[in-house]
Amino acid sequence: MDDLRDRYLGLIAEAGDEAGIEDLRVRALGKKGEISGLMKTLGGMSPEERQEKGPKLNALKTEIADALAARKASLADAALEKRLQTEWLDVTLPTRPARQGSIHPISQVTEEIVAIFADMGFSVAEGPQVESDWYNFDALNIPGHHPARAEMDTFYTHRAPGDNRPPHVLRTHTSPVQIRSMEANGAPIRIICPGRVYRADYDQTHTPMFHQIEGLAIGTDITMAHLKWVLEESLSAFFGTKVKTRFRASHFPFTEPSAEVDIQCSWQDGTVKVGEGDDWLEVLGSGMVHPKVLKNAGIDPEKYQGFAFGMGIDRLAMLKYGIPDLRAFFESDLRWLRHYGFAALDVPTLRAETV
């Protein structure tokens, strides 16, 4: 038994890898191993022999198992030490640059505009994007024959045969929010309504889904002069320069009188510069809220009057940041976002200094 012990301890000490250790374990302690075979002979021994040899065989089995485990751990330690000698990490090196997220131009411009109008006392109002025909058209004094109500311009929700409920649409503007807000809060009121709107159009300057912000101010003595001041102050704060406006007579079913609003600009090398030059660029529509709209919203037009305006957030972002194609807002490639510097939110206010 001593010879067997010495032989296996020698073989274990000479084993050079884990495969060799496993081979020795099987030869010594496996089902058909030498030591396992000796353990099986205990059953055929007399009680006296079993009492004498049993403890010795158990001690041999334990010693060989411990030697195998110790040698296996020693080999693992040696392999790790070898790796540590050949593989190393310089912890003094600077970290790899990590890309930072960017605020989307639409989100940034929306926050900028909201902050500007908040300084003027306007609160933000929101409403559903799927609207009834009443809120999207009828309450806004848009007649049934108006082109905006055609399916080629408006997305109508599907109706099953026999479903005679009034039609619903993806809202074509955020004006329904004005109606809902006047119904809920009455007058006086001063709100802006940012949000997604939908129209069946798609080209370089139009997309089926875009973003709009509308404003509404209702009181007892509000005039077009207030509208002009609000628009010039807000546009000057947004573009960071003094902006002159020009009102051109127009027609919208929901305002009377109505005006298209142009801003002073110049064109240099195909790029528009706002606040200078002899050219004009149309940016929004506006006017005094039509008495029928006030009445439809539950407000007495004999007592209250006010103005409303609407502009495209996407278009304002294009003008301010020089983005040439509206469709770029919906691309998944973020490189153009970084190209235009959208890495942090810088919100202008009315208190920002203009030149």
> Residues at the annotated binding site for Mg(2+)?
256
Quick one: which of 125, 349, 319, 348 has its CA closest to 215? 125
| Euclidean distance between CA atoms 77 and 156, whole angstroms | 72
CA nearest to 321, candidates 272, 261, 266, 275: 272
- The pair phi, psi for residue 75, each rounded to 5°, is -65, -40
The β-bridge relationship of strands 255-268 and 279-289 is: antiparallel
How, if at all, do strands 209-219 and 189-198 pair? antiparallel
How many angstroms separate the CA atoms of 40 and 32, rounded?
A: 10
Q: Measured between alpha carbons, how far apart are the two ends of the chain, in Å?
A: 102
Q: Which parts are annotated binding residues?
A: 256
- The residue type found at 339 is H
Contacts of 62 (CB under 8 A, 6+ apart): none
Nearest to 38 by CA among 1, 81, 93, 2: 1
Q: Which of 350, 279, 284 is nearest to 316 (CA)?
A: 284
**DSSP-derived pairing of the beta strands 123-124 and 189-198:** parallel
User: For residue 257, is the peptide bond before it cis, meaning its omega torsion is within 30 degrees of 0?
Assistant: yes
